[in-house]
């Protein structure tokens, strides 16, 4: 006979229990906030704008994209090793000069040069499923759904490529996305940007343009971000919210009475989030810079 002992479920580890408790608390808190907000009448002039990296999704979306493309042999480790080091040095030390910034901008999306828009969109769908879908913060997703349920439109606003931003928005059932636009000719990427990265002040300009076109009253709108760099966007709206904020944004939010929602688990996770954001950005920038250098060499 089979011993009953073999059928007994193994006790959960303390770390697993803590993680389950954290997720349960996160879901409950988000649900309570949603239920309260749903009693507010719909306002056609209001909308919500969400940053993506570390706000909607854990980590940097362009990092997940670059890693997925690397696995599909878009480039090699050797191509990016030196560039990653340089990017990490500048980002972590906080030392940047105009020449470095210009180089970063010019090479930001060069790793897709020569590939087609259709190819990137198809692979982006695959990469979302394998690397991004499970990284969506449930609490942030619940907040976005709250706005949709109130009859509001919801846009993602991110420095990530517009193709990836649009995939994320579509998979989450959102209205749309605004992201960095890469130049393409006859459906083939040139490796150059149209304008600049959608970052910092550029996000605010994009939102103002959209609001004018869609008849939105920004004082009735909400914006969500994790980064102090998004103050131009957050400062535009009547309801700015700090999600998983970096230390500077957390301090600013508290000083100005903004809502703060942190879906990370514990202080260790918060510290890791700050460092991983810098490293992910370094890798993403390094990927672009490395491939750009390789193409110039060839």
Tokens found for residue 213 = 């076109």
Active site residue 53: yes
Q: Where are the beta strands (DSSP E) in 46-181?
A: 47-50, 153-161, 176-180
Q: Was domain 44-297 assigned CATH 3.40.50.10490?
A: no
138-149 vs 14-37: helix crossing angle, rounded to 10: 10
Query: In the predicted model, what is the mean pLDDT of the chain?
Result: 76
Tokens found for residue 67 = 């890693």
Q: What is the pLDDT of residues 229-272, one digit of tens each?
A: 999 999 999 999 999 999 999 999 999 999 999 998 754 344 44
Q: How far is residue 275's CA from residue 88's CA, in Å, rounded to a whole number?
A: 10
What pLDDT does residue 80 have?
55
Mean pLDDT on 46-71: 91
The answer, yes or no, to whether residue 160 has pLDDT greater than 80, is yes
Q: How far is residue 208's CA from residue 236's CA, in Å, rounded to a whole number?
A: 8
Please give the DSSP secondary-structure letter assigned to residue 53. Answer: B
The answer, yes or no, to whether residue 186 has pLDDT greater than 50, is yes
The answer, yes or no, to whether residue 168 has pLDDT greater than 60, is yes
Q: How far is residue 84's CA from residue 18's CA, in Å, rounded to a whole number?
A: 35
SS3 219: helix
Structure-model confidence comparison of residues 117 and 108, the more confident one = 117
Q: How far is residue 267's CA from residue 271's CA, in Å, rounded to a whole number?
A: 6
Backbone angles phi, psi at 272, to 5 degrees: -65, -40
Structure-model confidence comparison of residues 62 and 94, the more confident one = 62
What pLDDT does residue 42 have?
72
Q: Which residues of 13-22 are buried (b: 16+ CB within 10 A; e: fewer)?
A: eeeeeeeeee
Structure-model confidence comparison of residues 39 and 148, the more confident one = 148
Between 59-63, 112-116, 122-126, the lowest mean confidence (pLDDT) is in: 112-116
Backbone angles phi, psi at 43, to 5 degrees: -130, 110
Residue 8 makes CB contacts below 8 A (sequence gap 6+) with none
Q: List the domain boundaries for the chain.
A: 44-297
Burial class (CB in 10 A: 0-12, 13-18, 19+), 53: buried
Q: What is the pLDDT of residues 22-57, one digit of tens each?
A: 544 454 444 444 444 444 557 889 999 999 999 999
What pLDDT does residue 1 have?
47
Active-site hit among 51, 226, 230, 246: 51
pTM greater than 0.75 (yes/no): no
Nearest-5° Cα angle at 261, 65 to 212:
70
Please give the DSSP secondary-structure letter assigned to residue 226. Answer: S
Mean pLDDT on 191-201: 85
What pLDDT does residue 105 have?
53
Structure-model confidence comparison of residues 64 and 258, the more confident one = 258
Mean pLDDT on 105-121: 75
Tokens found for residue 198 = 């959608």
What pLDDT does residue 65 have?
86
Give the position of tokens 């790793």.
111
Active-site hit among 16, 43, 53, 230: 53
Q: What is the pLDDT of residues 214-223, one digit of tens each?
A: 999 999 999 9
């Amino acid at each position: 006979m089979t011993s009953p002992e073999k059928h007994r479920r193994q006790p959960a580890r303390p770390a697993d229990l803590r993680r389950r408790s954290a997720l349960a608390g996160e879901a409950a808190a988000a649900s309570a906030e949603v239920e309260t907000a749903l009693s507010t009448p719909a306002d056609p002039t209001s909308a919500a704008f969400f940053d993506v990296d570390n706000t909607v999704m854990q980590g940097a979306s362009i990092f997940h994209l670059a890693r997925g493309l690397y696995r599909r042999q878009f480039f090699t480790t050797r191509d990016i090793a030196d560039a990653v080091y340089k990017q990490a040095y500048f980002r972590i030390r906080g030392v940047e000069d105009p020449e470095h910034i210009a180089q970063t901008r010019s090479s930001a999306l060069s790793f897709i040069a020569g590939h087609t828009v259709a190819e990137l969109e198809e692979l982006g769908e695959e990469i979302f499923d394998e690397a991004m879908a499970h990284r969506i913060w449930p609490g942030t997703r619940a907040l976005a759904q709250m706005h949709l349920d109130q009859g509001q439109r919801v846009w993602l606003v991110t420095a990530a490529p517009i193709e990836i931003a649009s995939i994320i928005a579509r998979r989450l059932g959102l209205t749309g996305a605004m992201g960095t636009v890469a130049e393409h000719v006859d459906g083939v990427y040139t490796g150059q940007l149209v304008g600049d990265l959608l970052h910092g002040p550029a996000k605010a300009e994009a939102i103002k343009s959209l609001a004018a076109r869609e008849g939105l009253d920004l004082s009735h709108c909400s914006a969500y971000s994790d980064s102090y760099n998004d103050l131009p966007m957050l400062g535009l709206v009547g309801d700015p919210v700090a999600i998983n904020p970096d230390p500077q944004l957390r301090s600013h939010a508290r000083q100005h009475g903004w809502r703060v929602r942190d879906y990370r688990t514990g202080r260790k996770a918060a510290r890791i989030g700050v460092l991983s954001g810098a490293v992910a950005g370094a890798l993403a920038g390094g990927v672009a810079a490395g491939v750009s250098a390789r193409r110039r060499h060839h």
